[in-house]
Structure 1
Amino acid sequence: MKNIGFLSFGHWSEGPHSMVRTGADALLQSIELAVAAEELGADGAYFRVHHFAQQLASPFPLLAAAGPRTSRIELGTAVIDMRYENPLYMAEDAGAADLIAGGRLQLGISRGSPEQVIDGFRYFGYVPPEGTSDADMAREHTRVFLDVITGKGFARPNPRPMFPNPPGLLRIEPHSPGLRDRIWWGAGTRATAEWTAEQGMNLMSSTLLTEDTGVPFHQLQAEQIQRFRDAWKAAGHEREPRVSVSRSIFPIVTDLDRQLFGRERGSTDQVGFLDGGNARFGRSYAGEPDELADELAEDEAIAAADTLLLTVPNQLGVEYNAHVLESVLTHLAPKLGWR
């Protein structure tokens, strides 16, 4: 059994075939797709965060708006770039959005990906301390964020406050109990996956790993997941962790599917150069349902994960993306034992 959700980058453009032409379109259609996904029986609606791009950027207004429109589906991010975040302000936003959603947030966070602009986090007012890197800064922001969302007090109260204070040190408000256990780290390497486990965060792994050992992507990712689980056990955490992987999966069941994704048949891994090192990109899956079921059954990382996020081509509109989700849920999930 697997949790199955979608992951949207929330692109918009004025291209001739785009159904998402403005930022407003991207936001409103994201909410509508979350509603449609819940109605279809999917388990999660996740959104990517990219700054300085015509894509979804500030996640908490979107998550807060999707909360009252849904009742069961998980609402999450994959991922928030922690180089750009004020961890205390983020804790307030996250607590509020989680309370609005009734405790359904699943927040994926990370050091971030290659940017649209040079050191974009500097425009947001964040500069790594001397002798440290932007990755160090992202991890420090994460440390503070994880600490304050536990709900423990840390701020000295004013002896003459505007409103009466409870006794002791004050915490970030609003506090949402349980949110700390629903934080995920987007890990791009095996070593980062082990660090994720040590911090007590769930593991989020996408279709890109910033290392390459020569083995197929799904096998490298499966090794990453196993290292995460081993490190989690060694750390002695009490709860069971969660692990998600992302895939582009397009069952071809209509002529339009064939027109749009027929060329993706036979897709293979790609090896490239990213951020100063080798990277391996996972393949896309497209084909007739029986053909796809056989191929997906061989994906070791999907087998090892409890959550599968389907990356969707959001610019094709809500109706078509709901069709893709329905096709996976009805044509593939039962064949593979995911449902």
Structure 2
Amino acid sequence: MKNIGFLSFGHWSNHPSYQTRTAGDTLLQSIDLAVAAEELGLDGAYFRVHHFARQLASPFPLLAAIGAKTSNIEIGTGVIDMRYENPLYMVEDAGAADLISGGHLQLGISRGSPEQVIEGYKHFGYQPAAGETDAEMGREKALTFLDKLEGVGFAQPNPNPMFPNPPGLLRLEPYSEGLRERIWWGAASNATAIWAAEKGMNLQSSTLKFDENGKPFHIQQAEQIRLYKEAWKAAGHKREPRVSVSRSIFALVNDQDRYYFGQQARGADSFGYIEADQRAVFGKSYAAAPDQLIKELAEDEAIKEADTLLLTIPNTLGVDYNIHVIAAILEHVAPGLGWR
């Protein structure tokens, strides 16, 4: 069995073929898509976060709006770039969104990927300390975020406050119990996956990772997940961890599907650079008739290792078509793989 969700990058552009011409289109359609996906029986609605781009960037208003309109579906991110964040303010935002959703928030965070502008986090008022890299700054902010999510008081109360205080040091409010255990780390390397396990975070592994041995993408990703699970066990955490992988999967069941995605049927892994000195491996897209998809996906080692699969969706094609894409996977593919 798998938890199955969608992952939207939230693109928009004033393009004649897009159903999302504006930011408002994308935001409102994201809410509608999550509601429809829950009605369909999908387990999760996740959204990518990119700054300085015509994509979703401020997740908490969106997550709160979805949480207010849904009852069971998990809602989350994949991922929030911690280099841009004030971790204490983020604790408040995350706590509020989680309480509105009834405790269904699954928050993916990371040190971030290359962005649209040079050192964009500096425009947000943040820069690494002397001798610190931006990646180290992002991980340090993540640790602060995790610490404050514990709900332990740390701030000395004012002896003459506007409103009465409870006894002792004060914590950030609103506090949402259990949210600390629903934080995921987006890891691009084996080392950061191990670090995430040691810190008690769930693991998100995307459609790319740093190339560490030249093997096919799904093999490298499966190795990363196994290293994460070993590190989790060694750390002695009391609960079972969760692991998600993302995939572009399209069941070609009608002419419209074949028109949009038929050319991806012969896709393959690719290698390239997402940073100047870091080679990466990018996983292939899957697009085929359902019977062929079942055969191909059964050989994906990383999907076997994960408990959660996030389907990357073409959000610009609109809510109705994306629900069709998701329904085709749930109906024609998932049962044949034992995911449903």
- TM-score normalised over the length of structure 2: 0.99
Partner of residue 3, structure 1: 3
Which whole-Å CA distance do the structure 1 matches of 2:227 and 2:212 have between them? 16
Which whole-Å CA distance do the structure 2 matches of 1:191 and 1:279 have between them? 15
SS of 1:185's equivalent?
Answer: strand
Partner of residue 122, structure 2: 122
Which whole-Å CA distance do the structure 2 matches of 1:235 and 1:212 have between them? 24
SS of 1:172's equivalent?
Answer: coil
Range with greater deviation from structure 2 (267-276 or 304-313): 267-276
- Counterparts of 1:36-51 in structure 2, within 5 Å, are 36-51=36-51
Deviations 1:89-143 (A, max 9, x none): 0000000000000000000000001110000000000011111011111011111
Which whole-Å CA distance do the structure 2 matches of 1:210 and 1:117 have between them? 21
Q: How far 1:212 moved relative to its partner? A: 3.7
Deviations 1:228-249 (A, max 9, x none): 0000000000000000000000
Which whole-Å CA distance do the structure 2 matches of 1:212 and 1:4 have between them? 28
Partner of residue 157, structure 1: 157
- Counterparts of 1:1-339 in structure 2, within 5 Å, are 1-275=1-275, 276-339=277-340
SS of 1:229's equivalent?
Answer: helix
Deviations 1:36-64 (A, max 9, x none): 11011000000000000000000000000
Which whole-Å CA distance do the structure 2 matches of 1:128 and 1:35 have between them? 40
Q: How far 1:300 moved relative to its partner? A: 0.4
Give 5+ residue unaligned stretches, structure 1.
none
Task: Note the aligned Cα RMSD (angstroms).
Answer: 0.5
Q: How far 1:266 moved relative to its partner? A: 1.4
* Aligned residues between the structures: 339
Which whole-Å CA distance do the structure 2 matches of 1:97 and 1:79 have between them? 16
Which whole-Å CA distance do the structure 2 matches of 1:143 and 1:23 have between them? 32
Which whole-Å CA distance do the structure 1 matches of 2:40 and 2:274 have between them? 37
Amino acid at match of 2:273: F
Give percent identity, aligned residues only: 68
Which whole-Å CA distance do the structure 1 matches of 2:10 and 2:22 have between them? 10
Amino acid at match of 1:21: R
Deviations 1:142-201 (A, max 9, x none): 111000011000000001111000000000000000000000000001111100100000
Which whole-Å CA distance do the structure 2 matches of 1:146 and 1:191 have between them? 19
Which whole-Å CA distance do the structure 2 matches of 1:136 and 1:259 have between them? 44
Amino acid at match of 1:26: T
Q: How far 1:68 moved relative to its partner? A: 1.3
Which whole-Å CA distance do the structure 2 matches of 1:180 and 1:274 have between them? 30
Q: How far 1:214 moved relative to its partner? A: 1.5
- TM-score normalised over the length of structure 1: 0.99
Which whole-Å CA distance do the structure 2 matches of 1:127 and 1:272 have between them? 28
Amino acid at match of 1:102: G
Q: How far 1:86 moved relative to its partner? A: 0.2
SS of 2:339's equivalent?
Answer: coil
**Segments ≥4 residues shifted beyond 4 Å:** none
Amino acid at match of 2:207: T
SS of 1:245's equivalent?
Answer: strand
SS of 2:266's equivalent?
Answer: coil
Which whole-Å CA distance do the structure 2 matches of 1:151 and 1:317 have between them? 40
SS of 1:50's equivalent?
Answer: coil
Which whole-Å CA distance do the structure 2 matches of 1:212 and 1:257 have between them? 35
Which whole-Å CA distance do the structure 2 matches of 1:103 and 1:152 have between them? 19
SS of 1:286's equivalent?
Answer: strand
